[in-house]
Amino acid sequence: MLQSLAGSSCVRLVEQHRSAWCFGLLVLGYLLYLVFGAVVFSSVELPYEDLLRQELGKLKQRFLEEHACLSEQQLEQFLMRVLEASNYGVSVLSNASGNWNWDFTSSLFFASTVLSTTGYGHTVPLSDGGKAFCIIYSVIGIPFTLLFLTAVVQRIIVYVTRRPVLYFHIRWGFSKQVVAIIHAMVLGFITVSCFFLIPAAIFSVLEDDWNFLESFYFCFISLSTIGLGDYVPGEGYNQKFRELYKIGITC
């Protein structure tokens, strides 16, 4: 008797606070998913980072041994300055000196990454005026971009979703549910092909150092607006038709 009363009271307690329990489970699930990602990334990437650190340490030590006139402090200062410039998209390498980060096409590409909130981070404003303008430009431009994309989607969705489904349903008499499922599969295949598979194949050909997986990875990181910046197209020193290429990527 007491057990049944206790059980019913627990059930009532859970029912009364169902929303809070669901929210708590959601928070717990999200935290566990974050921890899961951290564990996987750490276990996969940490060995590669350790190997790279060892390789750089050996190269640095060999360089200092071959150039006894150069102290380790001087080398550290030079490397710090080079890395600082590299973070702003400026390279000290002679084969990369011909590419300007702020010509018109590169600036257009940068503006598109800002408004789309992709933000690769390979090129950033150097001057205080550029940083201030970037803030104002983003505050106005990002909502403007969302409004623009919403208007475009509202007009496109009529022609790519509703009309085809209604056409096959009314004209050919197929079940609306079946047509909708087949249409969704076809539309998904076309979307993946046009925005992932075909661009990845093109990037793997045009970019000398990219294979298909790296190109597909770039497409996904870009279209999901994650924008890690580890892969940026059109930055090779021997890139042909670089201006036209940059405009094409922007589009």
In a domain? residue 59: no
Residue 133: pLDDT band with limits 50, 70, 90: very high
Classify residue 193 by its DSSP letter: I
In a domain? residue 70: no
In a domain? residue 179: yes
Name every residue whose Cβ is closer than 8 Å to that of residue 42 and which is 6 or more positions away in sequence.
none
CATH classification of the domain holding 175: 1.10.287.70
In a domain? residue 185: yes
Using one digit for the tens of pLDDT, what is the confidence trace for 173-194?
778 788 888 888 998 999 999 9
pTM greater than 0.85 (yes/no): no
Determine the average pLDDT of the residues in 225-237. Answer: 82
115 alpha-carbon distance from chain centroid: 14
Residue 2: pLDDT band with limits 50, 70, 90: very low
In a domain? residue 246: yes
In a domain? residue 113: yes
Residue 193: predicted pLDDT: 95
* Structural domain boundaries, residue 191: 101-250
By CB atoms closer than 10 A (0-12, 13-18, 19+), residue 180 is middle
Asked if 221 and 228 count as a contact pair (C-beta separation under 8 A), the reply is yes
Determine the average pLDDT of the residues in 153-157. Answer: 86
Using one digit for the tens of pLDDT, what is the confidence trace for 109-123?
889 989 998 888 777
Structural domain count, the chain: 1
Of all residues in the chain, the percent with pLDDT exceeding 70 is 88
Determine the average pLDDT of the residues in 238-246. Answer: 77
Residue 6: pLDDT band with limits 50, 70, 90: low
